Structure 1
């Protein structure tokens, strides 16, 4: 069965006020499905952005929102038992590599305790497929590229990465013990309109309008520049929805998949593309004031996804270029903050 053959399914999405959770919930609702959204609406970044995402979702009659923290097991169990979802997509997590250096407790609470609660709840309601967010960060400082799902990933270089690797291990164990079909998605640098303000493309744009320089953590080394596999939000969502009706089979019903663009971009090319997108939108030449600094603890020099496994499973590879994706982000950003008196 493929996604287009699904009819009127009930999906529980955690992190529904978050970036990926919002777009996924919106797509599912547009396709005629029922969505139970869970989010704790924390203030890791601008809460108004989360509230605006929720306002959009609440316009759909088949959307139900429950404010709940996945680390609260009792409350989470109540939501699961009342909703009895057929499919669960866990996107709730404490995100960010650098933030984990300052606030490690938040990562243990949300990404490990919270995730354990999710799989426990899935066990109780017999879900058909649990899909959960992992991360490209599990590959650590892997020098073999492109990164493949079979690569060794036991040397994470940040606590965030370690928590995501733990999610994969926990999901694998629960699939083995309790026959819960589970798929982990290793996301590669997701970006787009209404995205996360802590991501570089968003933060750089904020600094431009605040007339501040941007910090580039590559030591100014253009020959050995950092590069990232930037993946546009629409491509991420298409990959997720196509995977919903394809739970793993076999002795242990657990798989992990990369979702990346398979076209890594050097950091400086990414910045130049952002400058061009801003110039196009504002009608004048835009250039950032750049300050170069050493690479930060926990950062990795490169991310580069092999997408062969996902393509074999669902027949899809991301296609959005960095130029088109960043232009869509900038067009949204300027209009959104103008309307909200932000610029």
Structure 2
């Protein structure tokens, strides 16, 4: 049982889904998170793996962490084919997607991972101890000091989901995801939030009747409220998607699933863009655009190479529907 000795900390954790052979990449990400943020707050780390962690992995990551460390194995039944999936048809679809050069189109393991991140990570016994999580991927880079507690910010401001980068998803990976989501919304209208962010994912003000523009929040960085994922609305949504089979017959990623859920099941003021975070998950990076972040020495990155400036960035769309502008001052803990 986790017991936080520091009452100033929120009930939150950093979480990483990682394999034993990725230990060097895991340590590299940890080093940056610890230096840029966690050495001041000492939040715990939760590591999850579909196999048992090695003792070397545990010793090395425990040595890098400033807070407690916890190691869990993904239940086998959550990292395998659901019973209702036609495996022959799924393999046929995978072969076709691989032939079409769809990224990870032929990978079964990738599909297991996306389904797990979409519907199960937040149910793990180790995550059940916490209210908030910060997802950290192996081999990512952080360019800016975070001098305040983002978990406290999320809690104090009623935020349920946050992101850094927004971009279009590969359409060939999700040909029926929006159609399935529309079916869910018609069947369960009580779960669609008022003042939601549907205009982020649909152009032209057409709402749920419109066509998905493929914009999504890049989920390799996300800080969120675990109770949102544990909610009846989200669980119903995931179960509906899971029964449709698109995690295997297509290649639905957890990023568009999380994004569509946040856009429709939350109010848009419950979603937050961390404009003061500098971050890279290859091949894309983003860098805060304000002068203060750079002239103060808080950040070291090239804002002119930021994905925010890329033609494919969906961030301008987010600014438009959320009422903020690209020039808005990032949050630095005590003000905007």
User: Could you say whether these structures have the same fold, taking a TM-score greater than 0.5 normalized by the shorter chain as the test?
Assistant: no
Q: TM-score, normalised by structure 2?
A: 0.35
TM-score normalised to structure 1 length: 0.35
Q: Which has the higher contact order (CA 8 A, sep 6+)?
A: 2
